[in-house]
Amino acid sequence: MAMKTINVNLADRSYPVFIDSGTLSRPEVIGPYIAGDEVFVVTNDTVAPLYLSFCRQLFRSFRTETLVLPDGERYKTLDTAGQIFSALIAHCYSRQCTLVALGGGVIGDLTGFAAACYQRGVPFIQIPTTLLAQVDSSVGGKTGVNHPQGKNMIGAFWQPRCVVIDINTLNTLPDRELRAGLAEVVKYGLIRDPEFFAWLENNAPALLRRDPQALAYAIERSCLNKAQVVAADERESGQRALLNLGHTFGHAIETGLGYGTWLHGEAVAAGTCLAAAMSRRLGWLDQDEVDRVTTLFSRLGLPVNAPALGVDNYIGIMSVDKKVRAGKIRLVLLAEIGRAVVTDEYDTTVLREVLRSAKE
């Protein structure tokens, strides 16, 4: 396949997203986006044995140091970010350094957050190695860490210099992680791209068996959708909030169960099913449309039933979500497949009924 390039248009902060097979072996792709002559690679102990050697070759003409962190959502904390700062300072890295995130969403968020803070801001590059990171978290500049009381409550908007997606990294991705990434892919079809949703319904088996052309198309279409939304609303003052379909419920699941018990994409899938069920109770969706949502997630091997955390527990966690305004929990709901809305104008009794249905 020929390399695809999608541009995230943000004036002087614009950057390309490169999608291809074998980009980790092509220094000419990433080289022009390194600022200065210092590179600092952040990865984890799962990805490092697989791809760190490729990175060292990519950056062999630069002064390069690496930090290998433990793998897992539970390490997405201020303490872990502090390890990055300590390593940068110990190696005397200047403001002209470039941080590189090699890994999934946790590494991308941690590295981007560190880049936003170190010496009040240094460049960084995303090399996402999971499907979820490739189609969502690596694009758009959201960085941050979790707090025990809420996911992603501490962070910054900090755009990368570029995003380099090597589809070959998905060859080593566990099946569970692949399925979790597909939850974010489905999201784009639900919020703004009904034709893509229909394509996903027809191509679910190809995606699960890792057909290269199907994966490449799904990644490209997802990144294009994400880039268009981010370009129109970089700091989530309007339509970018639609990208949080299923996330208010999903973040409550992750927080309530303990970070890492469910993968992010698994929680988003179940959370999206709750959002669809609530949309149905409000009279916005037909039952046939709800069934299409749950059927697709089920076919992709993702949970469609949320865990029974308790209604009050759910609402308590959701009440510290970043989308809360004036004490009201704003939700992303579906007006139809391909059109989502952000609203706090709903009967809270309906919300409690939907949460009471959680039974996993």
244 is annotated as an active-site residue? yes
Q: Which of 28, 120, 209, 359 is catalytic?
A: 120
**Residues 234, 231: Cα–Cα separation, whole Å:** 6
| N-terminal to C-terminal alpha carbon distance within the chain | 41
Q: Which of 76, 251, 280, 281 is catalytic?
A: 251
142 is annotated as an active-site residue? yes
The DSSP bridge pattern shows strands 339-343 and 331-336 to be antiparallel
120 is annotated as an active-site residue? yes
* Residue 178: C-alpha distances to residues 54, 81, 247, 328 (Å): 22, 26, 18, 34
> Tokens at residue 4, please?
């695809």
**Residues 191, 337: Cα–Cα separation, whole Å:** 7
The DSSP bridge pattern shows strands 38-44 and 15-20 to be unpaired
147 is annotated as an active-site residue? no
The set of residues, in sequence order, having a beta carbon less than 8 Å from that of 185 and lying 6+ positions away, is: 131, 135, 200, 207, 218, 222
In the chain, % helix, strand, coil (3-state, to 5) comes to 50, 20, 30
Q: Which of 73, 220, 234, 236 is catalytic?
A: 236
The set of residues, in sequence order, having a beta carbon less than 8 Å from that of 236 and lying 6+ positions away, is: none
Angle value at C-alpha 186, between 196 and 281, nearest 5 degrees: 105
254 is annotated as an active-site residue? no
43: nearest Cα among 59, 31, 27? 59
Q: Which of 177, 184, 234, 254 is catalytic?
A: 184
118: nearest Cα among 153, 157, 86? 86
Angle value at C-alpha 234, between 254 and 345, nearest 5 degrees: 60
Q: Which of 142, 161, 192, 221 is catalytic?
A: 142
Q: Which of 192, 226, 322, 323 is catalytic?
A: 226
Kindly list the strands in the beta sheet with 38-44, ordered across the sheet, starting from the edge strand earlier in the chain: 4-8, 15-20, 163-166, 124-128, 97-103, 38-44, 63-69
Q: Which of 161, 240, 280, 322 is catalytic?
A: 240
210 is annotated as an active-site residue? no
Length of the chain: 360
Q: Which of 244, 266, 280, 292 is catalytic?
A: 244
247 is annotated as an active-site residue? yes
Q: Which of 151, 187, 264, 323 is catalytic?
A: 264
Give the catalytic positions in this structure. 120, 142, 184, 226, 236, 240, 244, 247, 251, 264
